[in-house]
Amino acid sequence: MSLSVVVVDDEPLIRSGLRAIINAEPDLTVVGEAGDGAEVLPVVRRTGADVVLMDVRMPAVDGIQATRLLLENLDPAPRVLVVTTFENDDYVYDALRAGASGSC
């Protein structure tokens, strides 16, 4: 079974790197990308992704708000993994409270 993944990050280079890493795994496939949390709902609706790899900090709609939007508007909703390089535990707690399945 292969899992479909949408990568959401405001940095194109990060999205490109994550796409390469994910697509190198035999059971994972990137099916879409978004450059901001505001773009993720239509991408996931179109692709039916199983998992969303979501940056926590983005300019218009951050990953925490976007996670809430996904989980409130899609049934079934994808699993959301929030990605952050910041050493701020509050981001992780807020993401989990919003419904994220985990963070990395």
pLDDT digits (tens, 9 = 90+) for 13-30: 999 999 999 999 999 999
Distance CA 6, CA 43 (A): 8
pLDDT at 99: 66
54-74 b/e with 16+ CB inside 10 Å = b?
A: bbbbbeebbbbebbbbbeeee
pLDDT at 95: 67
